[in-house]
Structure 1
């Protein structure tokens, strides 16, 4: 049995879809809400080192659009770490983490592969 941690914000529509899919398929998981549970236990630095800010940050989000052009043009992993730590809505959601992998966003087919639920 794999242990899944789902990171996100509970009122995010994509996070809701992912949680509903996991529950519908009887997949146990731990949900870590960026806002309610805080950012201290979130491995944001590791995600940025492993995947880069382009994969970790949601460049279609309202939070991204609210950044200045200078912030966007000078973005790097260190800047992303500072900004996303303060504004977790910049992170692409949900983040699904297991011992073997980390994925950003929700695609039903990827979740089915990850959990062995080939429907």
Structure 2
């Protein structure tokens, strides 16, 4: 079953949920702000989605700007980045969706349909 890390008040998450529902795909919704994925889960999602760790950041988020993450990133190790993200779900780009074999970060309708449709 798919695990859908999202936020109910997020328009992008709602669009992604709508696509899954229209395709008849069942999933488990996890509120990313209350129960963010662990560092290990995030590492697995990065591998499955074939993206860099930096792509996991919600760069348009308030916390990303307030904590000045962009300035900190060059000095952080992969482990530190994963720990930072796992400790604050508001820093993570959403939705994160994975079935353990495949994963998507964010929402792009075409890519989403190719992977989950």
Q: Report the TM-score when normalising by structure 1.
A: 0.75
Which deviates further from its counterpart, 51-60 or 104-113?
51-60
CA distances 1:28-70 after superposition (whole Å, capped 9, x unpaired): 111111234454597124345x343212112232221112365
**Separation in 1, partners of 2:37, 2:99:** 18
Q: Distance in 1 between matches of 2:89 and 2:100?
A: 23
Partner in structure 2 of residue 13 of structure 1: 11
Query: Larger Cα Rg: Structure 1 or Structure 2?
Result: 1
Whether 2:21 is the aligned partner of 1:23: answer yes
CA deviation after TM superposition for structure 1 residue 97, in Å:
0.6
Map of 1:107 onto structure 2: 108
1:86 maps to 87
Q: CA RMSD in A?
A: 2.5
Q: How many residues align?
A: 113
Residues of 2 paired with 1:8 and 1:25: CA distance?
18
SS at match of 1:26: coil
CA separation of 1:26 and 1:42: change in aligned 2, threshold 3 A: farther
> Secondary structure, in 3 states, of the residue corresponding to 1:35?
coil
Unaligned runs of 5+ in 1: none
Q: What SS does structure 1 have at the residue aligned with 2:97?
A: strand
Q: What is the alpha-carbon distance in structure 1 between the residues aligned to residue 71 and residue 112 of structure 2?
A: 36
1:5–1:97 contact (8 Å) kept in structure 2: yes
> Contact 1:56–1:92 at 8 Å: present in 2 too?
yes
What TM-score, normalized by structure 2, do the two folds share? 0.76
Structure 2 stretches lacking a partner, 5+ long: none
